[in-house]
Structure 1
Amino acid sequence: MVNKMNGESLDITSQNIARLKELFPEILTDGGKIDIDMLKTVLGEVVETEQERYQFTWSGKKKMIEGAQKSSKGTLRPVPEKSKNFDTTENLYIEGDNLEVLKLLQKSYNGKIKMIYIDPPYNTGRDFVYKDNFKDGVQNYLEQTGQVDTDGNLLSTNAESNGRFHTDWLNMMYARLKLSRNLLSDKGVICINIGEEEHEKLKFILNEIYGEKNLLGTIIWKKKTNGNNQGHIPSIHDYIYCYAKKIEMINEKEIGLLPTEEFLTKNYSNPDNDPRGIWTTQDLSANHEGPYFSIENPNTGEIHYPPKGRYWVFNEKEVQRRISEGRIIFGKRGITAPVQKVFYNEKEYKKIKVSSIWSDIALNADATAEISELFEQPKIFSHPKPVGLLKRLLEVFTEENDLILDFFSGSATTAHATIQLNSEDGGSRKFILVQLPETLDEKSEAHKNGYRTICDIGEERIRRAGEKVKVELKEKQQQAGMLDENIVDPDTLDIGFKLLKLDTSNIREWNVEFTNLEEALDLYETPFIDGRSELDIVYEIMLKQGLELTYPIVTFEVNGKMIYDIAFGSLFICLASGIKTDIAKAIIARRDELGTETSSVIFSDASFNSDSEKLNCIEVLKDAGYPEDNLLTI
């Protein structure tokens, strides 16, 4: 028997139930359901049974959580013609409602994101808050963005006169934060930029979703030089809340900035030409209880004890060893109290911690100037974030090969900063950006210059920023006069992006609710929606099978029939009509040639002229070692 492919995104509720069943098998009833009373008993005193308790809640919170956990039947359709370096890039730009997109990414990117950065609506009364409809999220999205007929359900601002002003914003944020947490790796971090309007409420829901213990810190970023006398005490800063998914998985010494040449020159030196490199001195004593003994200066015979109330950090034997190795010295002239010699090259972690106040980097005004210069047009986008701010966050929280997600991407500063940092340190960081295609005001400068949605601006910014960074690298190479190994090769820099758009599923079966589904499908020659390409269907299959959307796709033909090879034989897809055993044999040969250990095959039911031909193909694949669970049809 061949399995039918599931056309929905990850069922988060079922996943949570399965985890509970695995942890506590005794809570299962005869019918396989969960016995809540038994669960309470197992958890003992951990369960809160009092009606009055400390919590943060609001009207509609429970309904919102239930709706956010509903699976999506949508898909992401590739748009190669609007992408840059579609076949080779490992970056994604997704147009769509981020709630639905986050649901769709659950299988492919669960636990794979190192850093999430978002700059969500601040709820000023002028910015837009998403009107979520959990009954049919994709249809709701298409209506709100004017892509299908609607009864006036258009995007709007969240006016303060609205009786649900804070509730609407909280529902919008909670659902998206809860879903996005699943995508973070165990060492992952989320950074959220927020203003005065909702920062207290945001921290409440972050504490609930991530846990108070996982707060890494709050950054106060000075975003402008004055508050234009607005309010009693004009605000000139934003908050950036930084939470770990699992703080115990993060070594605090891994978080920070690599030192600049200026910092090293100021803090390290090598006056004695020590072959171990530049060094600095560090106190040999500490205020916690430890060894207490005298140390004799071998140069002067003077005896030294730890200062009052302090102790040596090493025992007597270790001190003598370090003196003999030149790791403990008595001042530069050899006549003062003993200190440690600490070599920069021997530091396990070379990053320097940052403080919570950031007033030394770019302002909002700098960000406006950056994007205006890039587009050669003023006022192209309101309130962008500066590249310098994002680049510093990336430096603090990411390593060279990490994946970054921004699902309120706006003008795509996160992409610009990622490309910029990669060009400076030779990294291969990759980004996934998600943005609702909000329509631009017809009176805006951007609209006058041909841009119709925020996505148009974001996509164009990535194109322009990538080319600008690449030109700057080439200029550095030319100035160096030769290929300087410290300058990143411009040709190795990934400045592309693969554009995908949220839409309804490509496959009829997953969209309709017929009383007799089999009869309904007989009405169609193919299960696919009219006007959808094979590439659309291939990407939907990758998404629903949990494969990353930047995996390489190679095609090859067998007797005129196209076969898609995903990720070096991890998945083969053939949607051509009239499939026979020659296709199955070609797939087996390809798998063996690539040496792929785990491989799956997916056909369309409509591709077979008869059930016997379908059975023959399946048997050939099974005889070649394909498990039945790895053979699917749609």
Structure 2
Amino acid sequence: MKKLEAGSPDTKSTDIVAGNVEALKTLFPEAFTEGRIDFEVLKGLLGAAVDERDEKYGLNWHGKRRARQIALTPSTGTLLPCPEESVDWETTQNIMIEGDNLEVLKLLQKSYAGKVKLIYIDPPYNTGKDFVYPDDYRDNIANYLELTGQVEGGRKISSNTEASGRFHTDWLSMMYPRLRLARTLLRDDGAIIVSIDDHEQSNLKTILDEIFGEENFIACVANINNMKGRNDRKHIATAHEYFLIYSKREFDSYGVPLTDEQLKDYKYVDERGERYALRDLRKRGRPDRREDRPNMFFPIFYNPETKACALQRRSTNDVEIVPKRGDMSDGRWRWGLDTVRDNLAILHANYSKQKDRWDISHRVYLNKDIEGDIDEESDDDDNIQRTSKPKSFWWGGENSTDVASREFKILFPGLNPDYPKSPFLMEKIVHMGSKPGDLVLDFFAGFGTTGHAVFRLNRVNPNRRFILVQLQEEISEEVAEQTETYKYCKKNGIKPFISEITKERLRRAASLIKSGQHDQKSDFGFRVFKLAPSNIRAWEPDPADIENSLLNNAEHLVQGRSEQDVLYELLLKLGLDLCVPIETKTIAGKAVHSIGGGALIVCLADGLTKDVIESLASGIVTWREALAPAVDTRVVFKDSGFKDDIAKTNMAAILNQNGISDVRGL
């Protein structure tokens, strides 16, 4: 029976370095000598692809090498489940995690690598104020402040000012490893969207180019979030922020929801009672001339009596209509012949007395796409369901910080946070980057606006799910901009931490949405987890007292941790979803847990003597056969639960004889 001990690969997050080495070994086995890389051989194999110049194009700063190494260092922590702080723990697929996001991103690698469709983050902008994110991991925030040079001996000493000499490097060193880890979590068709302002926009784009590849840059969207402008510049008031958007390899945008103003266009109702708008079938805007798309210039025949359109003349009363530009020169249709033929039923002809000519429009339905594909020569994409193609410039009241504050006050009357994100803006972002069934990640969750937006979208299209990560950052009464929030928390029984407001925001948003109309299958719950040191104790001997050291380390699990704590660490370290179903049975008087339909079976009970081994093993085998998992079952026991080595050996032997070969001790 293999033993899971502190320090073994199965008790750590994914070892990215080892994975990189194995990938290289598969591609270039001849570049390895005695298990190590021969870089001279590797250079020769790569030929002209190797750049050996001392000066290279790219962004470098003091600490970049260490930041890169931090991303590659495995984590030994765990996530402790907190059902008492959660909503709908047993059924929800949403997750909210308290803790440093660098460590959390490492812990999520085994379970969620390649599974996230959209990552949105709004990291702390580098405005000269402190940002509490470290390059190392301990247990509490005091260490974070020491690491970033913000406190000394428990007293705050400085801010990350532009005069400090490390204004950019501190921020870049904080962001770089997190973005490296985020990329591995994305699906191949996934995308990351990062909010940023002018201070670091250019630097952030450069490191995103490096991590995701310049070829995967999608857009830099300017979002007008404050029409009045903030007086934070000497000459020009800032009224906008940026969204930098990158794909992992390929990305299909699902469009942004139509605004109220756009919805006004859907004023027509067909014979079935479905709303639609009319769009001009003639192409407007370049390239709109006949010579630009010769195949997309042809006549359409309209019968004023039957109000039907055709591609051939069927009556002497038919009107021949061709696309004409404003100067009456020949234009072109948006669609080719095949698409027009397939959609004749939704075409509409209208006569303009002012222009003395006939034009053709087509119906665009609010609730469904047109039937048939757009001609491959068409460059128009305005038929997406209830959406429009995103532009590189966003503005509107629903995107503003004023609306964001108003919506926040609905949930938290009397509280006015600095520069919140609008849930309507986040709804647009999540809609653009995901569809029902997709997983959305925000690892700078703040006050939980991304989760709120997912809840809103799930009202009518359920099954999007989220993972939010937020540091348990304390709200201080002594910090001027936090005093109001601190007093609100104290008055309303909320612990003064950002992460506590995140959770309370999710609870209140879910309650508000459920009070209105929503799909009964919608998931408005979330599971809370908290970052903590591993449940598995490391060997910590006291050289002066070896005897007591042996006794103290006889139990490999941390005292005070529950079976549930250990179960969820096993999920993380063995690569299972944190929301996977867990079923519990009593077999031979011992609690046995089946995880993921029998992919993992765990028994952490004590008192496993030779008298219960056979019946317990037989019960596990029978249960596993009934579950019939699609993968080989792994069975884990608590090592100290066995009375002696004989009992442990017998258990492994019985399970092995019945086809369960992966049996481990903890």
Which TM-score band applies after superposition, normalised by the shorter structure?
A: 0.7 to 0.9
Shift of 1:24: 2.4
- Equivalent position of 1:453 in the other structure: 497
- Equivalent position of 1:23 in the other structure: 27
Does residue 390 of structure 1 match 2:419? no
C-alpha distance in structure 2 between counterparts of 1:362 and 1:411, whole Å:
17
- Equivalent position of 2:605 in the other structure: 576
Does residue 590 of structure 1 match 2:623? yes
C-alpha distance in structure 1 between counterparts of 2:498 and 2:124, whole Å:
14
Residue correspondence of structure 1 range 72-87 to structure 2 within 5 A: 72-87=75-90
- Equivalent position of 1:480 in the other structure: none
AA aligned opposite 2:486:
H
Shift of 1:618: 1.3
C-alpha distance in structure 2 between counterparts of 1:176 and 1:503, whole Å:
19
Which of 519, 530, 552 lines up with 1:488 in the alignment?
A: 519
- Equivalent position of 1:631 in the other structure: 663
Q: Secondary structure at the match of 2:37?
A: coil
CA contact (8 A) 2:269 2:275 kept: no
Q: Secondary structure at the match of 1:345?
A: coil
Does residue 52 of structure 1 match 2:91? no
Q: Secondary structure at the match of 2:11?
A: coil
Q: Secondary structure at the match of 2:195?
A: strand
C-alpha distance in structure 1 between counterparts of 2:553 and 2:351, whole Å:
91
Residue correspondence of structure 1 range 243-322 to structure 2 within 5 A: 243-246=246-249, 249-251=250-252, 254-259=253-258, 263=262, 266=265, 280-283=279-282, 287-288=291-292, 290-291=294-295, 298=313, 299=317
- Equivalent position of 1:346 in the other structure: 371
Q: 1:304 to 1:567 in 2, by over 3 A?
A: closer
Which of 581, 585, 599 lines up with 1:552 in the alignment?
A: 581
CA contact (8 A) 1:27 1:36 kept: yes
My pick for the range that moved more, 327-336 or 353-362, is 327-336
C-alpha distance in structure 1 between counterparts of 2:566 and 2:598, whole Å:
18
- Equivalent position of 1:430 in the other structure: 465
Report Cα offsets for 1:467-505 as digits up to 9, x if no partner: 1111123xxxxxxxxxxxxx522xx33222211111111
CA contact (8 A) 2:342 2:372 kept: no
AA aligned opposite 2:474:
T
CA contact (8 A) 1:374 1:464 kept: yes
Residue correspondence of structure 1 range 507-526 to structure 2 within 5 A: 507-509=536-538, 523-526=552-555
- Equivalent position of 1:478 in the other structure: none
How many residue pairs are counted as aligned between the two chains? 601
AA aligned opposite 2:36:
K
C-alpha distance in structure 1 between counterparts of 2:296 and 2:2, whole Å:
75
CA contact (8 A) 1:125 1:158 kept: yes
Residue correspondence of structure 1 range 18-417 to structure 2 within 5 A: 18-29=22-33, 31-133=34-136, 137-139=137-139, 143-144=143-144, 152=153, 157-230=159-232, 231-246=234-249, 249-251=250-252, 254-259=253-258, 263=262, 266=265, 280-283=279-282, 287-288=291-292, 290-291=294-295, 298=313, 299=317, 326=344, 331-332=349-350, 344-346=369-371, 349-350=384-385, 351-360=387-396, 361-379=398-416, 381-417=417-453
Shift of 1:80: 1.8
Q: Secondary structure at the match of 1:631?
A: strand
Shift of 1:268: 8.4
Q: Which runs of 5+ in 2 are unaligned?
A: 284-288, 302-312, 374-383
CA contact (8 A) 2:230 2:238 kept: no
Shift of 1:260: 6.6
CA contact (8 A) 2:281 2:362 kept: yes
AA aligned opposite 1:534:
E
Shift of 1:566: 1.2
CA contact (8 A) 2:443 2:469 kept: yes
C-alpha distance in structure 2 between counterparts of 1:292 and 1:415, whole Å:
45
Identity fraction in percent: 36
Does residue 469 of structure 1 match 2:513? yes
My pick for the range that moved more, 100-109 or 87-96, is 87-96
AA aligned opposite 1:111:
G
CA contact (8 A) 1:292 1:306 kept: no
Does residue 604 of structure 1 match 2:638? yes
Which of 627, 648, 658 lines up with 1:614 in the alignment?
A: 648
- Equivalent position of 1:565 in the other structure: 594
Q: 1:68 to 1:272 in 2, by over 3 A?
A: closer
C-alpha distance in structure 2 between counterparts of 1:313 and 1:402, whole Å:
32
Q: 1:16 to 1:533 in 2, by over 3 A?
A: same
- Equivalent position of 1:484 in the other structure: none
CA contact (8 A) 1:328 1:338 kept: no
Shift of 1:138: 3.1
C-alpha distance in structure 2 between counterparts of 1:142 and 1:562, whole Å:
39
Shift of 1:415: 1.1
Q: 1:329 to 1:338 in 2, by over 3 A?
A: farther
TM-score (norm 2): 0.81
C-alpha distance in structure 2 between counterparts of 1:207 and 1:324, whole Å:
43
Q: Secondary structure at the match of 1:41?
A: helix
Q: Which runs of 5+ in 1 are unaligned?
A: 474-486
Q: 1:129 to 1:615 in 2, by over 3 A?
A: same
